[in-house]
Amino acid sequence: MKTSDALLNWFDTQIESLSDEYLSADVLLQRLKNAPIGITNLKATYKTIPLSRSGPQGWTYFPADDDGTRLARISYSSFVPRMYVKATVKLYPKAFAPADTESYTVSDYAILTVDNFTAHGKVEKRRQDPANKRRKLCVHH
């Protein structure tokens, strides 16, 4: 099985396993504000996600199958500090796109992943002098 087919099968299985409850933009916003600690997956209508995308660098494209269908992961700007929101969507190629461009239609549903469990940090030098140049890890929760 090709990687693209395995990814698309994974997406379809995940979408089917998540609740069919319709989440309007207001309800989804409340769920994001009151998200439990950990990593939460929600099934959301792509067009009702009430967050702004992180820009062109916020898109990650996965391999396409023979028909041109592929998955994409989108990063969103979060209003809660240290909460990371990503959506995984299925992209279908448009039939009447110009030959030199790739144009896609986004599927109706997205898997919205809310991560407020991941600690993020940085590595710093203890001091500048050579005797104390070992590094320390500063983790922000």
25-57: pLDDT as tens digits? 888 888 888 888 888 899 999 988 888 887 667
**Cα 14 vs. chain centroid, distance in angstroms?**
14
Looking at residue 70, its pLDDT comes to 93
For 94, residues 6+ apart whose C-beta sits below 8 A from its C-beta are 103, 104, 105
The least confident of 42-51, 55-64, 129-138 is 129-138
